[in-house]
């Protein structure tokens, strides 16, 4: 099982470049695709889901070009788009049964699968009520269930935890971890903690380009020894932000405790900290913005 | 903020949103086609067997009438939906949280509607000038005679059309497909009312105004003329009446005042719409496009309910999904067809099904002529909203990405959706076809079959290409009114009026069906490629 993305670019009308020569190779596991808003994550997801075609480059699923033969991938694809709708007059069971039929599942398998999925996403009680009465989180859970209907080999989930409450979010993360054994899962999000919890591999994307790719440990190693905690008065925080990359702050009685990513201690008394994935992410983005790639993109 | 600036901002944004779509080019193309129809005699104004010389006055009045009638009829379907778009995109929710008043909002939408219709009027006014140049029957151009009919006949009619489109959107029951059907009958009524009642103040479309001016001139100038005045598509070629000269409508203060009165009425209509407009209050609307939580709904109920198990227990609960067996993915067309059929028939109230059953039973028990005539006609307008959802449902409810990422979507889901439409059509008309078959009327059965596949195919094609249900609802209502109801030869797709021609007519409809179906298929293929 192998998904290869080769030099994929996508240009929208008005010469808006959403992706620029993006390349990546994926094998079973969870890929966390991280990037700021507008980085090109959803465009990449749509291309991988065969909903949109790349302007140039190609995507190979087990050696087959999905632009030429999309059905080779579609039959084993589970896709949860960032923005999707439901038919309001159908119940969750009816809607899932409808999509199961569209995905080619036989009636008996679909019935069993739908029952399990509804249990999994905690919608069994509401399963027979019209979708028009569902909340945003419940809709999202129906979306998650439909993505898993056909036991997909490639599962693409775009901002899947949006609208979920903390309990459901944790549950969904666990589910992704469970599912990742024999399939490729691509989790696109800008929520670092979601990726941190489940990803076996991380790709950072910014301005349509691949900024970094590797195991979480590799990304963490990039900022190892570069994360500091400093305590400054509130008034000095803006100056600190001007000078250094501040990844988080917390107000305490002795001043602002700021988490700073810098090659060397930003000030006397700075305490070295264990880096987090968020530090690594912010540092990589900052380096990309100020680096030669950014200049080339301008 | 200045109210005028707010109204302008609403109108401008809405207008720009529309004119930047490809569909706007089609709108302008429609106006060009009307102009071409007038120029080539396809749409004409006749006084019995005669017409007037193509002077500025004649051409101006004729093209202005084309504008007031055809553009108002079709233009309504083009501009209706400005409020609905805000409802669907969620912009309405943002606007609802601002100090924007209902009146300002509706006036802005009205002005945007009016601007779109105005652009069509401008195209037709230019076409009128061009027509005089190219026909060259009278080389003297009189700007007033040529253009005043556009200003005084067309603009008030467009203002009312724009206002009615907004007004319809403020009522829940007129907002959707029912309103589209109502408009056609309202328009028909509006065209004929001033003539029937001889009341010029009811003459929105200006036909009566031109009639009152032209007919006395014709009586004086055309020997043997008997007040015949016709205006329409595909009339016989008329000859120029010798010795007849018409200088155009005399724009007296009374006439101008009546016309300006329509513009005032349009504003009044928009203002009165504010009384009924829900201002995007979800608790007052039903059947939202994107499913959003509602207060007091199941969502609120369930979220308020404490979970049966603790947070820790639920999140830690083992996750188990039975792997699908190899044979589980065995595409069965019947399954997806049943799913599509269920989707097609869901969401109607009990009385809809009761009326459908009544029409069906009626076809079995009524005399054959009634069964295949009025009852079949009624049965084939009843599911209009089922048909108009074909091809548009995915965009309307935002399920394209979910569906378009599935395998074999075109041969399976698309075909199943079409077949579900055909099944509904056939089911509702099954009483009539059974009676025809029992009576041995093979031609009638064939014509019925052609109609049964033609209607959903047309709906699917128009839905896929226009992305909205409005065009089918408008066009089909017209076709149904002219064909099955008024038995215009060739337009009765139910076959009831075809008689000995049934075989030929049904063959024509089978060919048209094949063409529109191919167009629908190509349209969906394009959507799949460029989603």
Q: Using the beta-carbon criterion (under 8 Å), do A120 and B319 form an inter-chain contact?
A: yes
B238-251 pLDDT, tens per residue? 888 888 889 999 99
Q: Does B315 touch chain A (CB under 8 A)?
A: yes
- pLDDT for B497 equals 58
Q: Does B438 touch chain A (CB under 8 A)?
A: no
Please state, in angstroms and as integers, the Cα–Cα distance from residue B366 to each residue in A44, B358, B370, B373, B435, following that order.
61, 11, 6, 10, 10
Q: Which of residues 235-254 of A touch B (CB under 8 A)?
A: none
Q: Hey, what are B269's tokens?
A: 């209509």
Which residues lie below 8 Å from residue B351, measured CB to CB, with a gap of 6+?
A: none
- Nearest by CB: A135 against B299, B398, B402: B299
pTM above 0.80, yes or no: no
Instruction: Indicate whether B333 pLDDT > 90.
Output: no
Q: Edge to edge, what strands does the sheet with A255-261 contain?
A: A245-252, A255-261, A227-232, A271-272
- pLDDT for A298 equals 42
> How many C-beta atoms surround the C-beta of residue B191 within 10 A?
19
Q: Which of residues 43-72 of A touch B (CB under 8 A)?
A: 46, 49-53, 70-71
Q: Which residue has the higher pLDDT, B295 or B357?
A: B357
B262-279 pLDDT, tens per residue? 999 999 999 999 999 988
* CB of B28 closer than 8 Å to CB of B119: yes
Q: Hey, what are A292's tokens?
A: 């030669």
Q: Is A213 helix (H, G, I), strand (E, B) or coil?
A: strand
Residue-by-residue DSSP string for B132-196: HHHH-S-----HHHHHHHIIIIIHHHHHHHHHHHHHHHHSHHHHSHHHHHHHHHHHHHHHHHHHH
Chain A partners within 8 Å of B404 (Cβ): 50-51
Task: Give span(s): CATH 3.40.50.300, chain A.
Answer: 3-219
Find where tokens 């788009």 sit. Answer: A81
Find where tokens 């101008």 sit. Answer: B256
Q: Does A181 touch chain B (CB under 8 A)?
A: no
- Mean pLDDT (chain B) is 86
* CB of B57 closer than 8 Å to CB of B131: no
Q: Does B349 touch chain A (CB under 8 A)?
A: no
Q: Of A289-298, B222-231, B258-267, B472-481, where does mean pLDDT reach its minimum? A: A289-298
Q: Which of residues 392-431 of B touch A (CB under 8 A)?
A: 393, 397-409, 412-413
* CB of B503 closer than 8 Å to CB of B446: yes
- pLDDT for B319 equals 64
Q: Does A1 touch chain B (CB under 8 A)?
A: no
* Mean pLDDT value across residues B74-85: 91
Q: Hey, what are A289's tokens?
A: 């913005």
Q: Of A168-172, A189-193, B89-93, B390-394, where does mean pLDDT reach its minimum? A: B89-93
Q: Which residue has the higher pLDDT, B90 or A257?
A: A257
Q: Which residue has the higher pLDDT, A295 or B128?
A: B128
Confidence label for A146 from pLDDT (cuts 50, 70 and 90):
very high
- pLDDT for B34 equals 87
Instruction: Indicate whether A142 pLDDT > 60.
Output: yes
A250-265 pLDDT, tens per residue? 999 989 999 999 989 9
- pLDDT for B496 equals 66
Residue among A102, A112, A123, A150 with most chain B CBs within 10 A, to mutate:
A102
Confidence label for B433 from pLDDT (cuts 50, 70 and 90):
very high
- pLDDT for B316 equals 54
- Tell me how close the Cα of B527 comes to any Cα of chain A, in angstroms: 9
- Nearest by CB: B399 against A75, A85, A134: A85
Confidence label for A171 from pLDDT (cuts 50, 70 and 90):
confident
- Tell me how close the Cα of B265 comes to any Cα of chain A, in angstroms: 38
B283-316 pLDDT, tens per residue? 565 544 444 444 444 444 444 444 444 444 555 5
Q: Using the beta-carbon criterion (under 8 Å), do A53 and B330 form an inter-chain contact?
A: no
- pLDDT for B348 equals 87
* Mean pLDDT value across residues A67-95: 88
Closest residue on chain A to B322 (Cα): A113
* Mean pLDDT value across residues A253-279: 91
Q: Using the beta-carbon criterion (under 8 Å), do A85 and B288 form an inter-chain contact?
A: no
Instruction: Indicate whether B65 pLDDT > 70.
Output: yes
Instruction: Indicate whether B467 pLDDT > 60.
Output: yes
Q: Residue A144 and residue A185: Cα distance in Å, rounded?
A: 13
Chain B partners within 8 Å of A150 (Cβ): 324, 329
- pLDDT for B479 equals 87
Indicate the helix (H) or strand (E) that contains A272. Answer: strand A271-272
- pLDDT for B291 equals 43
What is chain B's alpha carbon radius of gyration, rounded to the nearest angstrom?
27
Q: Does B331 touch chain A (CB under 8 A)?
A: yes
Q: Does A148 touch chain B (CB under 8 A)?
A: yes
- Nearest by CB: B405 against A50, A53, A120: A50
> Half-sphere exposure of A242 toward its Cβ, with a 13 Å CA cutoff?
5
Q: Using the beta-carbon criterion (under 8 Å), do A116 and B393 form an inter-chain contact?
A: no
- Nearest by CB: A112 against B292, B311, B322: B322
3-state secondary structure A140-209: HHHHHHHHCCCCCCEEEEECCCCCCCHHHHHHHHHHHHHHHHHCEEEEEECCHHHHHHHCCEEEEEECCE
- Partnered with residue A133 across adjacent β-strands are none
Q: Does A83 touch chain B (CB under 8 A)?
A: yes
Percent of chain B with pLDDT over 70: 90
Q: Of A195-199, A215-219, B18-22, B47-51, where does mean pLDDT reach its minimum? A: B18-22
Chain B partners within 8 Å of A170 (Cβ): 315
> Half-sphere exposure of A204 toward its Cβ, with a 13 Å CA cutoff?
25
Q: Which CATH class is domain A3-219?
A: alpha beta
Q: Is A65 helix (H, G, I), strand (E, B) or coil?
A: strand
- Tell me how close the Cα of A103 comes to any Cα of chain B, in angstroms: 6
Q: How far is CA B230 from the centre of its chain?
A: 25
* Mean pLDDT value across residues A272-287: 91
Nearest to B166 by CA among B111, B232, B129, B220: B111
Q: Using the beta-carbon criterion (under 8 Å), do B406 and A103 form an inter-chain contact?
A: yes
Find where tokens 């291309």 sit. Answer: A47
Nearest to A162 by CA among A197, A190, A129, A127: A190
Q: Residue A92 and residue B288: Cα distance in Å, rounded?
A: 17
Chain B partners within 8 Å of A118 (Cβ): none
Q: Which of residues 88-107 of A touch B (CB under 8 A)?
A: 88-90, 94, 97-99, 101-107
Residue among B401, B411, B412, B531 with most chain A CBs within 10 A, to mutate:
B401
- Nearest by CB: A83 against B398, B408, B531: B398
* Mean pLDDT value across residues A91-102: 88
- pLDDT for B296 equals 45
Confidence label for B388 from pLDDT (cuts 50, 70 and 90):
very high
Percent of chain A with pLDDT over 70: 97
- Nearest by CB: B403 against A46, A102, A143: A102
Instruction: Indicate whether B421 pLDDT > 90.
Output: yes
Instruction: Indicate whether B149 pLDDT > 70.
Output: yes
Q: Does B95 touch chain A (CB under 8 A)?
A: no
B199-224 pLDDT, tens per residue? 888 999 999 999 999 999 998 888 88
Q: Does A118 touch chain B (CB under 8 A)?
A: no
- pLDDT for B307 equals 41
- pLDDT for B76 equals 94
Chain B partners within 8 Å of A51 (Cβ): 400-401, 404-405, 531
Size of interface A-B (CB pairs under 8 A): 176
Phi and psi at residue B305, to the nearest 5°: -75, 130
* Mean pLDDT value across residues B114-119: 96
Closest residue on chain B to A123 (Cα): B302
Q: Edge to edge, what strands does the sheet with A16-26 contain?
A: A16-26, A3-12, A56-61, A64-65
Q: Using the beta-carbon criterion (under 8 Å), do B335 and A75 form an inter-chain contact?
A: no
Instruction: Indicate whether B392 pLDDT > 70.
Output: yes
Q: Residue B214 and residue B189: Cα distance in Å, rounded?
A: 22
Chain B partners within 8 Å of A84 (Cβ): 398-399, 401-402
């Amino acid at each position: 099982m192998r998904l290869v993305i080769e030099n994929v670019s996508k240009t929208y009308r008005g010469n808006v470049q959403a992706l620029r020569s993006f390349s990546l190779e994926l094998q079973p596991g969870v890929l966390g695709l991280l990037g700021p808003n507008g980085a090109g994550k959803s465009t990449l997801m749509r291309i991988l889901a065969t909903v949109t075609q790349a302007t140039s480059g190609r995507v190979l699923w087990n050696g087959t070009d999905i632009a030429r033969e999309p059905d080779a991938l579609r039959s084993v694809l589970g896709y949860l788009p960032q923005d999707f709708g439901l038919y309001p007059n159908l119940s969750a069971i009816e809607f899932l049964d409808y999509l199961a039929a569209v995905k080619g599942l036989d009636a008996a398998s679909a019935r069993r699968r739908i029952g399990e999925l509804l249990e999994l996403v905690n919608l069994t009680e509401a399963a027979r009520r019209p979708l028009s009465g569902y909340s945003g989180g419940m809709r999202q859970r129906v979306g998650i269930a439909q993505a898993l209907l056909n036991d997909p080999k490639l599962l693409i989930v775009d901002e899947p935890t949006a609208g979920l409450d903390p309990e459901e979010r944790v549950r969904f993360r666990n589910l992704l971890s469970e599912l990742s054994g024999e399939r490729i899962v691509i989790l696109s999000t800008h929520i670092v903690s979601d990726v941190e919890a489940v990803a076996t591999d991380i790709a950072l994307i910014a301005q349509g380009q691949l900024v970094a790719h590797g195991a979480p440990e590799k990304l963490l190693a990039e900022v190892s020894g570069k994360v500091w905690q400093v305590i400054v008065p509130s008034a000095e925080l803006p100056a600190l932000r001007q000078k250094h990359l501040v990844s988080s702050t917390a107000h305490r009685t002795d001043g602002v405790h700021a988490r700073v990513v810098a090659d060397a201690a930003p000030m006397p008394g700075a305490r070295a900290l264990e880096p987090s994935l968020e530090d690594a992410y912010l540092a990589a983005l900052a380096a990309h913005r100020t680096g030669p790639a950014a200049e080339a993109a301008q | 903020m200045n109210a005028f600036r707010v109204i302008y901002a609403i109108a401008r944004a809405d207008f720009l949103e529309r004119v930047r779509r490809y569909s706007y080019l089609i709108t302008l193309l429609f106006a060009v086609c009307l102009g071409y129809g007038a120029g080539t005699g396809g749409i004409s104004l006749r006084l019995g067997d005669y017409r007037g010389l193509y002077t500025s006055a004649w051409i101006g009045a004729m093209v202005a009438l084309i504008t007031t009638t055809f553009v108002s009829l079709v233009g309504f379907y083009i501009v209706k939906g400005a409020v609905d778009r805000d409802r669907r995109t969620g912009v309405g929710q943002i606007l609802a949280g601002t100090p924007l008043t209902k009146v300002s909002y509706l006036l802005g939408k009205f002005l945007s509607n009016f601007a779109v219709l105005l652009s069509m009027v401008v195209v037709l006014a230019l076409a009128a000038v061009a027509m005089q140049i190219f026909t060259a029957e009278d080389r003297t151009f009189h700007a007033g005679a040529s253009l005043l009919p556009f200003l005084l006949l067309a603009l008030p009619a467009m203002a009312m059309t724009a206002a009615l489109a907004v007004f319809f959107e403020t009522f829940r029951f007129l907002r959707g497909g029912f309103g589209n059907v109502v408009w056609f009958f309202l328009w028909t009524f509006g065209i004929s009312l001033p003539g029937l009642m001889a009341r010029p103040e009811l003459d929105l479309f200006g036909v009566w105004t031109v009639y009152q001016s032209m007919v006395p001139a014709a009586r004086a100038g055309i020997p043997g003329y008997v007040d015949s005045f016709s205006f329409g598509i595909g009339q016989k070629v008329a000859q120029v009446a010798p010795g007849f000269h018409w200088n155009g409508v005399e724009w007296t203060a009374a006439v101008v005042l009546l016309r300006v009165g329509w513009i005032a009425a349009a504003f009044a209509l928009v203002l009165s719409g504010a009384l009924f407009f829900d201002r995007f209050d979800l608790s007052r609307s039903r059947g939202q496009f994107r499913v959003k939580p509602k207060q007091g709904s199941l969502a609120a109920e369930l979220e308020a309910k404490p979970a049966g198990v603790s947070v820790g227990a639920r999140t830690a609960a083992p996750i188990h999904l039975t792997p699908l067996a190899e044979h589980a993915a065995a595409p069965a067309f019947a399954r997806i067809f049943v799913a599509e059929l269920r989707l097609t028939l869901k969401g109607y109230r009990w009385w809809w099904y009761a009326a459908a059953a009544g029409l069906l039973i009626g076809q079995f028990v009524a005399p054959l002529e009634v069964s295949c005539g009025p009852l079949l006609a009624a049965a084939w307008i009843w599911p209009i909203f089922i048909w108009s959802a074909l091809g548009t449902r995915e965009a309307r409810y935002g399920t394209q990405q979910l569906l378009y990422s599935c395998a074999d979507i075109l041969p399976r889901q698309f075909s199943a959706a079409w077949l579900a439409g055909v099944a509904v059509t056939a089911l509702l008309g099954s009483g009539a076809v059974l009676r025809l078959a029992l009576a041995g009327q093979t031609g009638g059965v064939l014509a019925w079959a052609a109609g049964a596949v033609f209607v959903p195919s047309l709906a699917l094609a128009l839905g896929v290409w226009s992305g909205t249900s409005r065009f089918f609802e408008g066009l089909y209502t017209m076709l149904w009114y002219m064909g099955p109801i008024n038995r215009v030869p060739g337009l009765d797709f139910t076959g009831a009026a075809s008689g000995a021609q049934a075989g030929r007519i049904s063959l024509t409809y089978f060919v048209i069906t094949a063409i529109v179906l191919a167009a629908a298929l190509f349209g969906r293929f394009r959507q799949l490629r460029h989603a």
